[in-house]
Amino acid sequence: MRERPFSQVDVFSGTPYRGNPLAVVLDAVDIDDEALARFANWTNLSETTFVLPASPEAAAQGADYRVRIFTPSRELPFAGHPTLGTAHAWLEAGNEPRDPSAVVQECGVGLVRIRREEDRLAFAAPPLARSGPIAADDLAEIAAFVGVGVSDVVDANWIDNGPGWSGVLLASADAVLALEPDFSRLGSSSVGVVGPYPNPAAGSPQFEVRGFAGGAGVWEDPVTGSLNAGLAQWMMAAGHAPDHYIAGQGARLGRDGRVHLDRIDGQVWVGGSSVTCIGGTIIL
């Protein structure tokens, strides 16, 4: 064990303690898998990331670093707020990407490009591993979990980009905020629910999102990049959302997350601000 650089970053918020926290170990060389999992369980955050040198194959394709993403209970091939938070911490530590305009991250789903914008970072949403309509029996189970009738669901789709997300569209943001899920029904499923705001003011969220990540051992995630990525890919393609919108998430948990979704030349980008709340070293 030795001292290693460490940051705890608040993601999808420019104001400390209003977004989704992420633990980032900036040097994870020579740590075995058991120790990685144990530390992620100890932080008790929805995700902890560990930065490593890119593999030779990924480096040859432009990767700046490799990241491993752990929940308290398992490793994920991809997750959104860990992608942005890790890139933020990596840049803040003085690292320079090969391409000045973007960071290229290697993770379980492959290479993810992270665009550098004026006041935030944005990642390119990876292709969905599973998409398409949700079968009637599965939809009935999801509706029972979130506490609505199937007739209250405007539309639903699989939007799995790694964590196993299903997406459910309700008629309004108020309906989303009013949900009282029955977590005994969630099991290992990961369910995202979204609803529109009527006539939102400029710069305000057009949609409210809630994410329930039983598959990651998290009852309700404060602000979720992978979920918003999948929702945007589905809703933009289906005509439920415009090519540029802001999603709010975390209100029921006392947070105020803001996720910026943009479709540019067919590619969905998921952006948000990050702020470092804790910096120093850990022994690992």
Give the residue numbers annotated as catalytic, written as ranges: 47
Residue showing tokens 């669901």:
153
DSSP character at residue 203: T
Nearest to 49 by CA among 26, 32, 30: 26
Nearest to 51 by CA among 91, 11, 24, 82: 24
Nearest to 229 by CA among 255, 172, 265, 267: 267
Return the structure tokens found at 98.
Answer: 């090969």
CB atoms within 10 A of CB 170: 23
Amino acid (one-letter) located at 236: M
User: From CA 234, how far away is CA 57, in angstroms rounded?
Assistant: 31
Return the structure tokens found at 86.
Answer: 């890790």
Which residues have CB under 8 Å from 135's CB, separation 6+? none
User: From CA 169, how far away is CA 12, in angstroms rounded?
Assistant: 22
**In the Cβ-directed half-sphere of 202, how many Cα atoms lie within 13 Å?**
0
CB atoms within 10 A of CB 191: 25
